[in-house]
Amino acid sequence: MKKAILFFIVALMIAPVASAIDRMPAEVKPAGVTVVIPRQAIDNAPALEVFTIIHHARPDKPGKPGKGPKGETCYGFISGKAKLIETENVLINPTNSGMTEEDVLNTIQVSASTWDNETSTQIFGDFTKDYTADFDTYADGRNEVSFGNYPQNGVIAVTRIWGYFSGKPNSRYISQFDIMFDTDFAWGDAEIDATLMDLQNIATHELGHTTGLNDTYSDSCKEVTMYGYSAYGETKKRTLETPDISGLQILYGI
């Protein structure tokens, strides 16, 4: 009996002792069950990453038209097959747009439906006016569209996308996005006034980024929606071309 007790004491002395932080109990509601989350499991969680994509005004001296690289597809992806995995609602702040609030909201909704109409997946949900929506430097769990002054000249719009982009291509996904239209430009309907930057044109392009599509800059791809340059009076990005649709359907299905 004494030997058994002595062995038990020695075993306790040499056994590894888990610290409080390694055990980290968490309460699961409503059952009130307590589970133990290993610290290693938390340390191995993937880190949230961010991409910032800048949409520039068309350069004064664009490159000469060319045939493009062999096998040119005129579409590309931000990070593997990273895409939105849930239908996403969007908050819109029309302040500083120079347009009526209704026109801003309706125009961006039309731009979103341009993508939704080309796949059976419902990508975008409700678009709601919200004066607190802004362009964030950190992920706050909200998809936001706003108008503001970007510090770099010649920038029409900026899209910032948060997600998980470092894993296997098929495991990557987009969790949140913000879009800002630069107030250095006069916004409106370029079909009515060609001196304006067309909101529908640019919004369709920027929302393409939020689906997971990247810019293309090839001279042979100038007519596609995801071509990376735009200009005052341009409206051709309002509609999708075959390469835009092909890239979208690779991500979300037909």
pLDDT digits (tens, 9 = 90+) for 168-197: 888 899 999 999 999 999 999 999 999 999
* Total number of domains constituting the chain: 1
Pairing label, strands 144-148, 88-92: parallel
Q: How far apart are CA 90 and CA 97, in angstroms?
A: 17
CATH number at residue 243: 3.40.390.10
> 138: closest CA among 174, 176, 83, 164?
176
More confident of the two residues 4 and 170: 170
Residue 41 lies in a domain: no
pLDDT above 60 (res 4): no
More confident of the two residues 25 and 234: 234
Give residue 246's pLDDT: 98
Residue 26 lies in a domain: no
> 156: closest CA among 71, 55, 23?
55
pLDDT above 60 (res 42): no
pLDDT above 60 (res 30): no
Per-residue pLDDT, averaged over 133-160, amounts to 97
Residue 158 lies in a domain: yes
Residue 28 lies in a domain: no
Residue 157 lies in a domain: yes
Beta bridge partners of 128: 91
Give residue 61's pLDDT: 57
pLDDT tens per residue, range 118-137: 999 999 999 999 999 999 99
Residue 144 lies in a domain: yes
End-to-end Cα, the chain, rounded Å:
74
DSSP code string of 41-80: HHHTSPPPEEEEEEEEEPPSSPPPP---STT--S--BSST
pLDDT above 80 (res 18): no
Give residue 71's pLDDT: 58
Give me the domain span that covers residue 243: 49-252
Report the chain's mean pLDDT, rounded to a whole number.
85
Residue 195 lies in a domain: yes
pLDDT tens per residue, range 44-98: 667 899 999 999 998 865 554 444 455 579 999 999 999 999 999 999 999 999 9
> 83: closest CA among 21, 171, 16, 178?
171
> 202: closest CA among 247, 152, 237?
237
Instruction: State if pTM tops 0.85.
Output: no
Element (H, E) at 197: strand 197-198
Per-residue pLDDT, averaged over 204-223, amounts to 97
Percent of the chain with pLDDT over 90: 73
Residue 232 lies in a domain: yes
